[in-house]
């Protein structure tokens, strides 16, 4: 099967692709809104413990990366625009540096050193050789990149200088990690899809709805929206949390985290465990026993009282 050149004016944009990117932006905002609610403890559950929520985040990242591959073909499939490419690369790379610097200030123990923007910047360069190859070359490379972490990992690749490859044996502590393997497969899949599909503008397209126009606009402004939305969401919710929630000291936060991990480990569900642990802490403080518990040297009387409190809070039964 011979591949025909893509019938698309150089640098043309397709509203369908921009709208798809806009949908991904909306999903990302929803995801980060939920993440913020959990992190700031405005809801009694940690959504990061829910497999469906985790896969929701993965699907959003995959869609962004696939659209990067599609966009590269649309922009450079008929000829490499060096100046335009370098300008876009510098913009994304600069935004990635800003994300690293900003998250280091707020979350020094979990700052983002290789997140979605870092991946997009590197993947944009790595995908260039595939733009002038048949679609099935990119598709086969995508399959290899996706499968490699399943069959090969090495401890030496867990070092700080190589962990971004995604082939190490450990997962780093960071709020966003999108390593080369297997995520570059999504970009290559986008390249393969665009070359096989050969998208062209439709001159007879119906007048788009307001919702579609809004999605197209968001898709075209995806980078500034990405950079702005999380500081605005997190900042606003942090102010709300400080206004309506009592301050939580570090000891209480650590106890709650440990209690919930143990509870979930025995088969309790996340919501029930969060409720149980919160109830236990509240009752211990109410009866003036909290500091004695923190001292970690309970006598028999205290131990019996703690057991009574935990029974009052109805510990969840194992599944």
Highest mean pLDDT of the ranges 63-67, 202-206, 283-287: 63-67
Q: Give the confidence band of 2 by pLDDT, cuts at 50, 70, 90.
A: very low
Q: Which residue has the higher pLDDT, 110 or 138?
A: 138
Over 90: is that where the pLDDT of 24 sits? yes
What pLDDT digit, counting tens, does each position of 234-277 carry?
999 988 888 887 665 667 777 787 887 888 777 777 667 877 88
Q: What percent of the chain has pLDDT over 90?
A: 52
Q: Which of 87, 67, 181, 70 is nearest to 130 (CA)?
A: 70
pLDDT value of position 43: 83
Q: What's the predicted TM-score (pTM) here? A: 0.76
Q: Which residue has the higher pLDDT, 115 or 270?
A: 115
CA 171 to chain centre: 14
Distances (CA, A) of 112 to 12, 142, 265: 33, 25, 28
Nearest 5°: the CA angle 33, 170, 257 is: 50
Q: What is the mean pLDDT of the chain?
A: 85
Q: Which residue has the higher pLDDT, 91 or 262?
A: 91
269/316 Cα distance (integer angstroms): 8
Over 70: is that where the pLDDT of 317 sits? no
Q: Give the confidence band of 298 by pLDDT, cuts at 50, 70, 90.
A: low
Q: Which residue has the higher pLDDT, 185 or 109?
A: 185
Q: Which of 88, 85, 77, 84 is nearest to 199 (CA)?
A: 77
């Amino acid at each position: 099967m011979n591949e025909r050149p893509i019938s698309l004016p150089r640098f043309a944009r397709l509203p369908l692709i921009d709208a798809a990117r806009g949908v991904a932006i909306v999903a990302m905002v929803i995801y980060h809104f939920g993440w913020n609610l959990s992190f700031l403890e405005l809801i009694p559950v940690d959504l990061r413990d829910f497999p469906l929520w985790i896969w929701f985040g993965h699907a959003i990242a995959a869609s962004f990366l696939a659209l990067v591959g599609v966009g590269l073909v649309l922009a450079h499939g008929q000829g490499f625009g060096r100046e335009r490419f370098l300008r876009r690369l510098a913009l994304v790379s600069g935004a990635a540096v800003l994300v690293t610097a900003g998250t280091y200030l707020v979350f020094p123990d979990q700052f983002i050193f290789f997140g979605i923007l870092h991946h997009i910047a590197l993947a944009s360069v790595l995908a260039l050789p595939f733009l002038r190859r048949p679609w099935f070359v990119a598709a086969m490379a995508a399959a290899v990149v996706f499968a490699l972490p399943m069959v090969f990992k090495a401890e030496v690749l867990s070092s700080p200088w190589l962990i971004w490859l995604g082939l190490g044996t450990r997962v780093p502590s960071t709020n966003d990690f999108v390593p080369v393997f297997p995520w570059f497969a999504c970009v290559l899949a986008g390249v393969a899809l665009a070359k096989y599909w050969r998208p062209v503008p439709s001159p007879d397209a119906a007048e788009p709805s307001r919702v579609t126009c809004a999605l197209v606009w968001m898709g075209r402004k995806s980078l500034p929206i990405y950079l702005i939305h999380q500081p605005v969401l997190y900042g606003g919710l942090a102010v709300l949390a400080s206004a309506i929630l009592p301050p939580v000291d570090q000891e209480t936060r650590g106890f709650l985290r440990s209690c919930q991990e143990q509870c979930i480990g025995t088969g309790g569900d996340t919501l029930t465990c969060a409720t149980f642990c919160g109830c236990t802490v509240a009752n211990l403080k109410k009866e003036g026993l909290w500091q004695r518990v923190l001292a970690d040297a309970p006598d028999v009387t205290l131990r019996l009282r703690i057991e009574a409190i935990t029974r009052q809070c109805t510990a969840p039964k194992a599944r």
